Amino acid sequence: MEVLMHEASNQQENNAVCIVEPKSTFKKREDDIPSDAAHSNDKESVDIIFENITYTVSHRFRREEKEILHGISGRLPSKQLIALMGPSGAGKSTLLDILSGFRTTGMDGSIYINGRIRHLNNFRKCSAYITQDDRLEPLLTVIENMRVAADLKLPSSTPKHKKEMIIEDILTTLSLYEHMNTRSGRLSGGQKKRLSIALELVNNPTVMFLDEPTTGLDSSCCMQVVNLLKILARQGRTIICTIHQPSASLFQLFDQVYVLTNGDCLYQGATSKLLPYLENMKLPCPMYHNPADYIIELACGEYGNEKINTLIMGSQNGRNLQWFDNPETLKDAKSLRAEHPLRNKVNDNSLHATNLVHQIKILLRRGFIMCKRDTTLTHLRIAVNILVGVMLGSVFLRSGADGSRVLDNYNLLFAILIHHMMTTMMLTVVTFPMQMSILLKEHFNRWYSLKAFYTAITLIDMPISIICCILFSIIVYFMSAQPWEIIRFSMFVAISLLIMFIGQGTGLMIGAVFNVVNGTFMGPTLACPLMMFAGFGVSLRDLPSYLKWGSYISYLRYGLEGFVGAIYGLDRPILDCKEKGEFYCHYKYPSKFLSDISMSGDQFWNDIIALATILLITRCSAYLLLRWKLISYR
């Protein structure tokens, strides 16, 4: 860490970056960190060799396959900053995904880590993948994001003060210390990129994969990010990143470059030897021409496809190692295997640094902070429930106590059901896909298990859901003058809560499979048959025999039946008819109303059991669909 701090401070002085913490504090922190601290640089360096890598994708609707990578090979030494270059569609990101283990299906070939065949779970423990888009929690500050990462990525036995020292060292090195109390959503593009790197540095990975780390940044921020990556590489890390078309000054910062075109390798070797290689291939770079631009132009076929074939043959599709700085010192897989003996046998079952309970605890703490700051999930949600409750209560004022307005009250009960279903379902349909990108990154980088994430998002929303439900129920129930009995009110609230939770589960199922656009279409579409089979517009006894099955799977049917049982069941006495001019009050007898709508009024507990079963099914299905979604990305 001392070398990291020294080199980082030199780099920051060159860039005139102000650091607010005195150097004496740095020295004190470095002396306090023991040799076995989680952020010490005693990890084994990693050399990566890949041979004959092919990647094939299958078309979803046609029985045909397309090969993206065509048997490429390569060498990625440790302590190097390596660029994967090529035009759009060349296969850069695909190769990066395969090397990192993010993609495993459709891949063929061999990947060696220090001479041994890569064991994916063990490799993931010493590597980190940083995506092109900055997948950060925008409502958390820089220090809060870092503390969450430290609590999840470092062993739970690590003392808090050591975690704080590690966090401060990283933030200072990456020039984020003075922004530690700024929310991530308010950071600039370069600061977000550095924060993304900082989060993965917490557990000191020895291999880092970055997809287009300079995309969307100005030239100054690009230089800062790449300079930082070079400092990290000098610490013994293997840094591999894709880059589209760097400037000449940025290109020179990379130690090694690997150039792709249409899934083939055009060049592999030192950046400084690219020009000699092109001259050797009788394709000299024009004077005053950026070598990075020239090799991309060659890869695009601007000088003819025969030039591409010449370069592929010259690089032997990645097998030619003569253009490295010191090719004679490069060892093959067998020599590397002998040089890097196994230190300790790794437990394959302990992929994450902390246990499940600890992960849930940290995710709950993060979730509650975000809920408190998210106006949509909290303040607006409470306000909408209060407003809608007052509106419905005003429209159906005292309808629950008037025998002449039983049908109006029945409409109110159905409207309440639709409100509970749609507000909760559409909220999760919209918000859940937005969390998928963060989940993909954090889950792949071993922050937490899927079980911990799903448990946390299920528990986080419960308090606010219960508060909204109770507020809404109190307003509507008493404004519409439903029976003032604690048992009936409790039954009403219980049905409301179950409908809300099932709506959330349905929204999670849709959000786990579809994106925001398709999810907002699927949600209301799915709600239509649920309403049709609820027994509201068409009574249950009037449904055709071939459609009766729908009434058993529609949770709105059980919700409506439960509401009716709570309001008109339990042998409710004769209702008063208060409508002026009414000589005949048809539904002053609740039993008559129950008979006309084909409900008995004594099925409350059966409805509760049915709703609880559907709730369990939707929640389990959402988890399984989410798990399938994660697997499908790989």
For 369-435, what is the HEC assignment?
HHHHHCCCCCHHHHHHHHHHHHHHHHHCCCHHHEHHHHHHHHHHHHHHHHHHHHHHHHHHHHHHHHH
| CB distance 185 to 213 below 8 Å | no
260 three-class SS: strand
pLDDT of residue 257: 95
Would the pLDDT of 35 be above 60?
Answer: no
**What span, in angstroms and rounded, lies between the C-alpha atoms of 156 and 159?**
8
Q: What are the tokens at 313?
A: 């043959």
Q: What angle do CA 263, 265, 268 make, to 5 degrees?
A: 150
Looking at per-residue pLDDT, the higher value among 536 and 243 belongs to 243
pLDDT of residue 362: 94
Most confidently predicted of 13-22, 219-228, 390-399: 390-399
- How many CB atoms within 10 Å of residue 409? 26
pLDDT in tens, 489-532: 999 999 999 999 999 999 999 988 888 888 888 888 888 888 88
Most confidently predicted of 7-11, 32-36, 83-87: 83-87
pLDDT in tens, 450-493: 999 999 998 988 999 999 999 999 999 999 989 888 999 999 99
**55, containing H or E segment:** strand 48-58
DSSP 181-243: TSBGGGS-HHHHHHHHHHHHHTT--SEEEEESTTTT--HHHHHHHHHHHHHHHHTT-EEEEEE
The DSSP 8-state label assigned to residue 121 in this structure reads H
Strands 48-58 and 107-113: what pairing? antiparallel
pLDDT in tens, 226-236: 988 998 898 88
Burial class (CB in 10 A: 0-12, 13-18, 19+), 300: middle
pLDDT of residue 487: 93
Q: What are the tokens at 356?
A: 């499940």
Reported as a pLDDT band with limits 50, 70 and 90, residue 38 is very low
Q: What are the tokens at 631?
A: 């697997």
Domains along the chain?
Answer: 10-339 (3.40.50.300), 356-577+586-632 (no CATH)
pLDDT of residue 223: 87
Cα dist. 453→302, 459, 512 in Å?
A: 48, 10, 13
The pLDDT of 155-168, averaged and rounded, is 92
| Model pTM score | 0.82
Q: Which of 187, 315, 237 is nearest to 80 (CA)?
A: 237
58 three-class SS: strand
What percent of the chain stands above pLDDT 70?
90
pLDDT of residue 6: 41
pLDDT of residue 553: 85
Would the pLDDT of 132 be above 70?
Answer: yes
**What span, in angstroms and rounded, lies between the C-alpha atoms of 250 and 230?**
11
**What span, in angstroms and rounded, lies between the C-alpha atoms of 429 and 507?**
5
> What distance separates the 2 farthest-apart alpha carbons in the chain?
107
Crossing angle (nearest 10°) for helices 516-532 and 406-444: 150
**What span, in angstroms and rounded, lies between the C-alpha atoms of 488 and 484?**
8
Computed over every residue of the chain, the mean pLDDT equals 84
pLDDT in tens, 65-96: 888 999 999 999 989 999 999 998 889 999 99
Looking at per-residue pLDDT, the higher value among 151 and 634 belongs to 151
Would the pLDDT of 580 be above 70?
Answer: no
pLDDT in tens, 605-633: 999 999 999 999 999 999 999 999 888 87
The pLDDT of 552-566, averaged and rounded, is 89
pLDDT of residue 270: 93
Reported as a pLDDT band with limits 50, 70 and 90, residue 32 is very low
What percent of the chain stands above pLDDT 90?
44
